Amino acid sequence: MRNGHHGGLARDMGLGYAEAIHALSKGVAPMKAAVITFPGSNCDRDLAVAFARAGFDVTRVWHKETALPAGVDVVGVPGGFSFGDYLRCGAIAAQSPI
């Protein structure tokens, strides 16, 4: 993620990777990430922390919201569970407005 973040910035600004890192340290606005949270979803907080550590400005979004925050560059959808959907978070996600 970190390489993609700086690589995208470098590409958008016409900079090399090292120059993009330098630009970030000089006050270039961070990319914005939204992490969607569903009832029973797994690791949504972990995903938000990972985005934040990679330098993103993170907003957590409840699945009942009807729109993403303005200016979001990437949307993270956390995983559920590998064996079964007993809490029905997958079924809820399929019907959620976000």
pTM (two decimals): 0.66
| Confidence bin at 3 (pLDDT 50/70/90) | very low
pLDDT: which is higher, 34 or 21: 34
pLDDT tens digits for range 39-79? 877 788 999 999 999 889 999 999 999 999 999 999 998 87
- pLDDT for 66 equals 95
DSSP string for 24-51: HHTTPPPPEEEEEE-TT-SSHHHHHHHH
Nearest of 30, 25, 96, 26 to residue 65 by alpha carbon? 96
User: CA-to-CA distance for 8 and 56, rounded, in angstroms?
Assistant: 13
Phi (first) and psi of residue 7, to 5 degrees: -65, -40
User: CA-to-CA distance for 4 and 64, rounded, in angstroms?
Assistant: 29
